[in-house]
Structure 1
Amino acid sequence: MRFDDPEALADPEALWDRLLERYPEGLAPVFLAEGVPAWLMLTLEVHQQVMQDPDTFARDVDHWRDFHNGVIPDTSPLRAIYTKRRNVWNVDGPDHKYYRDIVVRALSNISQNQVMTHVDEVVDRVIDTFSTEGRADLVTRYSSVVPLLVLCRLYGMDAQEGVAVCSAQRRVWDGADDALHVHAQLQRRMTALAERRRESPGSDLVSELIKAGLDNEEIRDHLTFITAAAHEPTAHTVAHALRLLLGRKNELVQLNSGRSVREAVNTSLWHAPPMHTLIGRFATRDVEVGGYRVAAGDCVVMGFGPAQQLLRRDERLDTETNRSYMIFGMGPHSCPSAGRDLGLTIAEKAVQRIDRRLPDMVLVDEQWQGVAAGRLSGVESLRVAFTPTDRIYEGAPWQLSASQSTPETSTETQPRTLSTRLGQWLRWIWQG
């Protein structure tokens, strides 16, 4: 049976239940695209076996058999996303430790005050783009742009360059028909930034990576990875938390305390992980996993959605204060605390600040995307109404519309379905 029924995909809990019932030992055979097989991990135990054994399950795409034998076409969007790169995510062993130490040190060398300054300015300037209007979609005009613009400020970019990068990254993750072309444009942009910072260093992440000895290609590949790993998951977390808080507001719950915001972000990560699945490991030898023989060269997909669903049903865990969500990974490739703290800081500040700036926001309409996005899952739109309020910053607000961005890539900011093409890659589930 194939799970290409949109109604099934729109209900992730039901989908995971069907898979867990069919594959109780925790591993399911799936298709990433028609004719491209892989294995989807379903339980915490299987994730631990795979993710904590990098010798047997590597990150290096060179180990992915179908990436090199013609099964995955040269035109496949999978190639735009998983082509081998010189960054911490794509290597193993000593190379991984070398890159990880550099990235952690570079993030740690950026002061918390500097991070908060960037977050505060970006959040307020984005709110300024719609604060006088009395209505806004908080997904398309707020949560989907704030994390990327903060990252670009940390890189040393200005707002408009950040908009262009955001658009390019979206098209790559969406698997658009021109994904390979757009990916090449994004790579050139990151390389140009490294070249500028090498000539004129500053207090930013790129300058820190230069000081650590990385060349322009390595910097390019790390910026591309950090952008992809941090932006959309954080954006979805902000949207989920706002959705939760707006629902509570309708129930007349007070939300002005920092704890309320922190718990909203935590609850959102716990109940609605921003990533349900992620292609991420390749077997280096034949091995037994979840009742199946996984062959050398097979692709193994992380299943944060089903594994975390099982954890949520553990009565021993307190779902309001629990921090056992899996999206930050485990084992040597887990997200370092510096990166995790940065993402949580952006999410919490974004939620807290808009609640204070627009305290009488009410939810007018929402669209829930469910699991249809495959890799990323979240709120597609959150339309709110509020009392118009003055801008904080003088002068014209930032222009975040497509017409104001650089012409080399589309900078669409209208309502859209996030990552729909990737969703198609996990719609074919083998049921035997």
Structure 2
Amino acid sequence: MTHPIQHPTDALRLDDPKALADPQATWDRLLERYPEGLAPVFLSKGVPAWLMLTPDVHQQVLQDPGTFARDVDHWRDLHNGVVPENSPLRAIYTKRRNVWNADGAEHKRYREIVVRALSNISQNEIMAHIDEVVDRVVDTFCTEGRTDLVTRYAGVVPLLVLCRLYGMDAREGVAVCSAQRQVWDGTDDALHVHAQLQRRMTALVERRRAAPGRDLVSELIAAGLDDEEIRDHLTFITAAAHEPTAHTIAHALWLLLGRKNELVQLNSGRTVREAVNTSLWHAPPMHTLIGRFATRDAEVGGRRVAAGDCLVMGFGPAQQLLRRDERLDTETNRAYMIFGLGPHACPRAGRDLGLALAEKAVQRIDRRLPDMVLVDEQWQGVSAGRLSGVESLRVAFTPADRIYEGAPWQLSASQSTPETSTETRPRTPFTRRGRWLRWIWGE
């Protein structure tokens, strides 16, 4: 099936890990080839899109929701056969009743509800949740003397904090965290576990309707959302908050541990904030994100974008271009692109929560394990084409005592999982990334 605008055959494929193994070099090539800021790309074989490269193009597109909508119904190729029936993109972009998928008045209503719900939770309570989760997670490995800070720390702390904010008790939060790791790891029963997680979210909403508490779910219920809307919002908030925060924690720790030889003290709040800022500028958790669909023909970056075309946000190339300005201080400036622009930008309450969680997690583990050193000097990252940005960060330290009495939390998937079921467990050919994204945006 033909496309209104024929992309060159050598256009970048965003699902090709080899093409994005060196993101900085890739973005430099695209910025040189398409200096006006819009590059033709393929999301997968035969599925065309436009990648936004410059801040100016992002401003034009993201500040004009009338021309560039979030509603996937405007994506022509999702409905005319260009996106294959078996493509993970179809699962990723199933329409959901949450703030991410809505436009106009519906989006404004959802956004106001979410912002109010987050703002109504006490900041002292949030900080207490973070402190407890961090200490309990550190307790799971502090006596061992060695660990991987990605899989056993950064990769679990944000999700566990979110579970607490949703109103889950410790046991349920640990079970959800363990099960969610199965989904993200793309195990054969990932979709089955995902279905269990969805039922857990629905059951949580039902419990909070009967017995409200001081938590996010109770706030969403009080705002008038129905069970499906709350479940879809919890699914989106979890996806939007966990992975970027986990990546930032891991990368900031890598930066700071590498500078310990310079006598940099991680306990300094300023030093931690600088490391978090630097991480977000130089190694954004997401280099690209499918984000807008043209509602009518428009001129963008010197090119004609046709109604129904898909546009991809390019946080990686846009921030790389901004970093060329020598006046930009990446240790203190917080105007990163990854929080978005326009009506769909991450609200300040959500941004501040993510940054506070990242900073607290970095600073507190150093207080618990002050002599941590890197076992591997090389940063173990993955290509820009994958949303997950971290694979491994191995450290050694002097074994330390646990803070909490009793058995530590069991965070491995084999030790703590949601209840089993007699249902047939579905198996799919999707890659780990496809399965993980499938959970993010709903099945």
TM over 0.5: yes
CA distance in 2, matches of 1:228, 1:167: 15
What is the CA-CA distance between 1:255 and the residue it aligns to? Answer: 2.5
Q: 1:40 corresponds to which residue?
A: 51
- Aligned CA distance change for structure 1 residues 396 and 183 (closer, same or farther; 3 Å): closer
Q: 1:231 corresponds to which residue?
A: 242
Unaligned runs of 5+ in 2: 1-9, 422-430, 438-443
* Identical residues among aligned pairs (%): 85
Q: 1:329 corresponds to which residue?
A: 340
What is the CA-CA distance between 1:408 and the residue it aligns to? Answer: 5.8
CA distance in 2, matches of 1:76, 1:174: 19
CA distance in 2, matches of 1:160, 1:85: 29
Q: Would you say the 8 A contact 1:47–1:302 is kept in 2?
A: yes
Residue of 79, 100, 114 corresponding to 1:89 = 100
Deviation string 1:149-179 (CA, Å, 9 cap, x unpaired) is 0000000123453345446656666777776
1:361 aligns with 2:365: no
CA distance in 1, matches of 2:342, 2:59: 8
CA distance in 2, matches of 1:193, 1:374: 34
Amino acid in the other structure paired with 1:230: A
Residue of 133, 152, 171 corresponding to 2:144 = 133
CA distance in 1, matches of 2:324, 2:436: 25
Deviation string 1:359-378 (CA, Å, 9 cap, x unpaired) is 00000016645552514253
Q: Would you say the 8 A contact 1:283–1:295 is kept in 2?
A: yes
SS in 2 for 1:327: helix
The normalised TM-score by structure 1 is 0.90
1:220 aligns with 2:258: no
- Aligned CA distance change for structure 1 residues 174 and 54 (closer, same or farther; 3 Å): farther
- Aligned CA distance change for structure 1 residues 408 and 298 (closer, same or farther; 3 Å): farther
Q: 1:193 corresponds to which residue?
A: 204
SS in 2 for 1:402: coil
What is the CA-CA distance between 1:395 and the residue it aligns to? Answer: 0.3
SS in 1 for 2:291: strand
CA distance in 1, matches of 2:105, 2:64: 15
Q: 1:148 corresponds to which residue?
A: 159
1:311 aligns with 2:322: yes
1:395 aligns with 2:406: yes
CA distance in 2, matches of 1:409, 1:47: 45
What is the CA-CA distance between 1:218 and the residue it aligns to? Answer: 0.4
Q: 1:341 corresponds to which residue?
A: 352
Q: 2:6 corresponds to which residue?
A: none
1:269 aligns with 2:269: no
- 1:366-385 equivalent positions in 2, closer than 5 A: 368-370=379-381, 372-376=383-387, 378-385=389-396
Q: 2:303 corresponds to which residue?
A: 292
Q: 1:428 corresponds to which residue?
A: none
Q: What CA RMSD, in Å, does the superposition of the two structures yield over aligned residues? A: 2.5
Q: Would you say the 8 A contact 1:128–1:391 is kept in 2?
A: yes
Q: Would you say the 8 A contact 1:137–1:381 is kept in 2?
A: yes
Amino acid in the other structure paired with 2:148: D
- Aligned CA distance change for structure 1 residues 337 and 39 (closer, same or farther; 3 Å): same
- 1:151-162 equivalent positions in 2, closer than 5 A: 151-162=162-173
- Aligned CA distance change for structure 1 residues 214 and 262 (closer, same or farther; 3 Å): same
What is the CA-CA distance between 1:203 and the residue it aligns to? Answer: 1.0
Amino acid in the other structure paired with 2:216: L
- Aligned CA distance change for structure 1 residues 423 and 37 (closer, same or farther; 3 Å): farther
1:18 aligns with 2:32: no
Q: Would you say the 8 A contact 1:363–1:383 is kept in 2?
A: yes
- 1:220-259 equivalent positions in 2, closer than 5 A: 220-259=231-270
CA distance in 2, matches of 1:265, 1:349: 11
- Aligned CA distance change for structure 1 residues 26 and 369 (closer, same or farther; 3 Å): farther
- Aligned CA distance change for structure 1 residues 250 and 7 (closer, same or farther; 3 Å): farther
The normalised TM-score by structure 2 is 0.88
Q: Would you say the 8 A contact 1:273–1:377 is kept in 2?
A: no
What is the CA-CA distance between 1:30 and the residue it aligns to? Answer: 1.1
Q: 1:414 corresponds to which residue?
A: none
Residue of 89, 108, 123 corresponding to 1:112 = 123
CA distance in 1, matches of 2:18, 2:48: 23
- Aligned CA distance change for structure 1 residues 402 and 172 (closer, same or farther; 3 Å): closer
Amino acid in the other structure paired with 2:144: E
Q: Would you say the 8 A contact 1:230–1:343 is kept in 2?
A: yes
What is the CA-CA distance between 1:181 and the residue it aligns to? Answer: 5.3
Q: 1:76 corresponds to which residue?
A: 87
Q: Would you say the 8 A contact 1:61–1:90 is kept in 2?
A: yes
What is the CA-CA distance between 1:36 and the residue it aligns to? Answer: 1.4
Q: Would you say the 8 A contact 1:366–1:382 is kept in 2?
A: no
Unaligned runs of 5+ in 1: 411-417, 425-432
What is the CA-CA distance between 1:186 and the residue it aligns to? Answer: 3.4
- Aligned CA distance change for structure 1 residues 177 and 282 (closer, same or farther; 3 Å): farther
What is the CA-CA distance between 1:296 and the residue it aligns to? Answer: 0.8
What is the CA-CA distance between 1:224 and the residue it aligns to? Answer: 0.5
Q: 1:204 corresponds to which residue?
A: 215
CA distance in 2, matches of 1:219, 1:259: 37
- Aligned CA distance change for structure 1 residues 422 and 328 (closer, same or farther; 3 Å): farther
- Aligned CA distance change for structure 1 residues 229 and 338 (closer, same or farther; 3 Å): same
Deviation string 1:331-376 (CA, Å, 9 cap, x unpaired) is 0000111000110111010000001110000000166455525142
1:27 aligns with 2:68: no
Q: Would you say the 8 A contact 1:77–1:180 is kept in 2?
A: no
Deviation string 1:237-278 (CA, Å, 9 cap, x unpaired) is 000100001001133323321111111111111111111011
Q: 2:114 corresponds to which residue?
A: 103
Q: Would you say the 8 A contact 2:133–2:160 is kept in 1?
A: yes
What is the CA-CA distance between 1:193 and the residue it aligns to? Answer: 1.4
Per mean C-alpha deviation after superposition, the further-off stretch among 222-231 and 30-39 is 30-39
- Aligned CA distance change for structure 1 residues 178 and 108 (closer, same or farther; 3 Å): same
CA distance in 1, matches of 2:420, 2:247: 23
Q: Would you say the 8 A contact 2:252–2:275 is kept in 1?
A: yes
Q: 1:58 corresponds to which residue?
A: 69
